[in-house]
Structure 1
Amino acid sequence: MGKPDAGTPRERYRAQVREEIKKYAWEQIATAGASALSLNAIAKQIGMSGPALYRYFANRDELITELIKDAYRSLADILQDRAEAGAGLDGLAHALREWALADPQRYFLVYGTPVPGYHAPADTTRITAEIMAVILDACTAGQPPVAPPSPLETHLDDHRVWARQHPAPPSALRRALAFWTRLHGVLSLELAGHFDGMGFDPARLYADEIEGVTGH
């Protein structure tokens, strides 16, 4: 018997079950963290045997990989949509915060502490490259090149593997990394609750960091 064509009832059912498995996986992660993710526990919640569930995800790492790809894809799509609507670097920064606050567990899965024993496959970097490309585009747009480049900019220009084939000038490379590190620093602390009880509005701190990166 040949492999069923995509879009057949069997394929649609398989896709539906995989989505249900991922839904319960996110619930587990929200309750106990990604390191405690258990396919057998998910199987019991669904009313499925462990061996049956393994027909949909071969192991825990395959399931985590799918969750990570979904998380990165959702952020990539949001940033791309905002960019196509005319948002500049500050607009992308606000979109990043909205995405993070909407689902902190999703944020921490991709930008928090790595899951013990898990190693992401190389193809997950393809989506992260899309995210960085949108940011590099925004950092490059309307920015005159800085001459001469700073020592850091020279270093980044010589070590631009992370930027893939993007033709961003050295000043844009530095701005993109400042955007990524400074904003994620604030978001990570906020979502982890480290600002609780300090008596200030994290949104104002985040906005000040945006101004520091964008200059406006």
Structure 2
Amino acid sequence: MAEAQQGPRARYREQTRAEIKEAALRQLADGGVAALALTRIAKDMGLSGPALYRYFASRDDLLHALIRDAYDDAASAIGAAAARSVDAAQSPRERLHALAVAYRAWAVGEPHRYLLIQGAPVPGYVAPADTLDRARAVLGPFFPVFVGGTPGAGVAPVVAQMAAWLDGDPAVGDWVAEYAADAAAGTAGAAGALAGALLAWAQLHGSVGLEAAGQFAGMGHSGGTLLDAQVAMLADAFGLE
């Protein structure tokens, strides 16, 4: 409906912006962020440099758009996996595995986009403020998985630090409650959920990031097998059934 209400000029502008982003993604896939060049994109598209800058004011402006899109797509993939696992009445352990599989599938399916948001920082680039909310949307679906867990002694220090973070920053509690209403009433549940999501992110990024960067080439294991082992150990650490 919104697209139908746009005039021809607005539709053309959005289409051209989308084509520019697709050209930029091809450059990222070929050579990483260092290969991203607006002048080459303009040449490939048959545009003049000044014409392209009417759609994106700078390289950083284009990066903003690519990073926002990547976080939104990753959050959508993980959110969809979370919804499917709830509909299937899976156990917390099974739900954690489903989310981890979705995280890996998105990352290894589009490694250049994963590395754009989770790889080495781009020199001189400062992400827009709304990037934080988008990044949190990727982790949010993990919260409900850990709410009913029983964190063991090995992860207790992390839970304690998350409890202190919740006490010192009400916005963090709002973030947890947005995805796990059951954790809103008590700090202990929220702290466990936050600690579980944090450790899931660290574990997944460790293995998935290496796989997305091609570091497992020539090694005698599957990234999926490694992921299964990590998820099982994390579920054990939080007493997930």
Superposed pair shares fold, TM > 0.5: yes
Match of residue 194 from structure 1: 215
The answer to whether the Cα contact below 8 Å between 1:35 and 1:116 also exists between their aligned partners in 2 is no
Listed as ranges, the gaps of 5+ residues in structure 1 are none
Match of residue 54 from structure 2: 55
Listed as ranges, the gaps of 5+ residues in structure 2 are 87-94, 178-182, 184-188
Match of residue 76 from structure 1: 75
Match of residue 101 from structure 2: 94
Q: CA deviation at 1:164?
A: 5.0
User: What letter matches 1:157 in structure 2?
Assistant: A
User: What letter matches 1:31 in structure 2?
Assistant: D
Aligned-partner Cα distance in 1 for 2:156–2:231: 21
User: What letter matches 1:113 in structure 2?
Assistant: A
User: What letter matches 2:81 in structure 1?
Assistant: R
Match of residue 123 from structure 2: 116
User: What letter matches 1:206 in structure 2?
Assistant: L
Change (3 A) 1:37 1:6: farther
Q: TM-score, normalised by structure 2?
A: 0.80
Aligned-partner Cα distance in 2 for 1:46–1:164: 46
Count residues with an aligned counterpart.
210
> Residue 174 in 1 paired to residue 195 in 2?
yes
2:6 match: secondary structure? coil
For residues 27-51 of structure 1, give each alpha carbon's deviation from its aligned partner in whole angstroms, at most 9, with x where no partner exists. Answer: 1111221133111110000000000
User: What letter matches 1:172 in structure 2?
Assistant: A
Aligned-partner Cα distance in 1 for 2:51–2:193: 50
Q: TM-score, normalised by structure 1?
A: 0.89
Aligned-partner Cα distance in 2 for 1:26–1:48: 17
Match of residue 153 from structure 1: 159
Change (3 A) 1:214 1:144: closer
Aligned-partner Cα distance in 1 for 2:172–2:139: 7
% identical equivalent positions: 40
Q: CA deviation at 1:86?
A: 2.5
For residues 78-103 of structure 1, give each alpha carbon's deviation from its aligned partner in whole angstroms, at most 9, with x where no partner exists. Answer: 11112122252211111001101111
Q: CA RMSD in A?
A: 2.2
